[in-house]
Structure 1
Amino acid sequence: MARKDPYRNFRFRVEIDGINQAAFADAVIPDSTTAPIDYREGTDPVHNRKLSGQTTYGNVTLKWGLTDSMDLYNWRKQVIDKGAQDNRKNLSLVLIDEAGDDKARWNIMEAWPTKYDSSDLSAKGAEVLIESLDLVCEEVVRVQ
């Protein structure tokens, strides 16, 4: 039987409805958590049952080197100016193997930017200026 090595995390693509961004340095895949609910039947005074409650999803965090593109910042500005209702987008995080083939895909639904941040300016530095965007979402599904 052939050995199957795990995929590396450094080759990926981010697809966002209507936004073309050349490259990202980091993309955080959100976690999902289903809250346990304790339930005790009246006839059983000792044992609790564990029922499943509401499922919540963590934030997506995207980081990229600053370029002339204003697309992601403008999306954040639209949320500030008009609210999230009409500014939600679907996106996908796609893992790519060494041969360039898509190997895993996480679809993220109804996302909108909740926080924008940029690294500090420094006359003493030579680092790339990094922008980051935190997105909240309503659902995350791994489809591949």
Structure 2
Amino acid sequence: MPATDQRNDPVRGYNFSLEIDNVSRGAFSEVGGLTADGDSVDYREGTDLQSNVRKLMGLRKYTNITLKRGYTQDKELWQWYVNIMNGVPDRRNVTIVLMNEARQPVLRWHAENAWINKIEGPALKASSNDVAMESLELVHEGLTLEM
């Protein structure tokens, strides 16, 4: 195989972190909702010769981002939620960073003007040996991908 040919293996999805306003907020065990979507708009003029409607681009929509992690002593996310609950317009920019096996950033998803819509404490069970998990749901106004 010539030296110019390199393997282009896919990045594994287990090595990622979260940044809020460019400050690392630790690792999460699960991230979901990195989805951008949109609506199409049907349009037809009375003078159109073709018998079908035109499809125009409509508004963009972004799915809420869900995050899950083991419960820690870090209360920063709860404080952010309390700000929102008390009517403080506390919107922040959030970045999910996917890293390769050498822990170098490979992809970055930026969610703009995010705020916590839902936060959930751990489910507790005396006979369980599971890690206490917290989860949160972020609402945001835009998702971009940086490579």
Instruction: Using structure 2 for the length normalisation, give the TM-score.
Output: 0.90
Which residue does 1:7 correspond to in 2?
Answer: 11
- Unaligned 5+ runs, structure 1: none
The one-letter amino acid paired with 2:65 is: V
Match of 1:118 in 2: 121
Q: Residue 68 of structure 2 is aligned with which of 40, 60, 63?
A: 63
Tell me the residue number matched to 1:22: 26
**Long gaps (5+) in structure 2:** none
Structure 1 runs of 4+ off > 6 angstroms?
none
Amino acid at match of 1:47: N
Distance 2:35 2:67 in 1: 15
Alignment-derived partner of residue 50 in structure 1: 55
Q: What secondary structure is seen at the aligned counterpart in 2 of 1:74?
A: helix
SS at structure 2 position matched to 1:77: helix
Quick one: distance in 1 between partners of 2:146 and 2:92?
Answer: 18
Question: How far is the alpha carbon of 1:19 from its aligned partner?
Answer: 5.9
Question: Do the aligned partners of residues 94 and 20 (structure 1) sit closer, same or farther apart at CA in structure 2, a change above 3 Å counting?
Answer: closer
1:32 aligned onto 2:26: no
SS of equivalent to 1:115: strand
Partner of residue 79, structure 1: 84
Shift of 1:95: 0.7
Q: Is the 8 A contact 2:71 2:122 kept in 1?
A: no
Decide whether aligned partners of structure 1 residues 18 and 82 sit closer, same or farther in structure 2, where only a CA change above 3 A counts. Answer: farther
CA contact (8 A) 2:17 2:24 kept: no
Change (3 A) 1:23 1:120: same
Calculate the TM-score normalised by the size of structure 1: 0.91
Q: In 2, are the aligned partners of 1:29 and 1:93 still within 8 Å (CA)? A: no
Q: Give the Cα–Cα distance (whole angstroms) in 2 for the partners of residues 31 and 76 of structure 1.
A: 23
How many residues align? The count is: 142
Instruction: Supply the AA of the counterpart residue of 2:110.
Output: N
Q: Percent identity?
A: 35
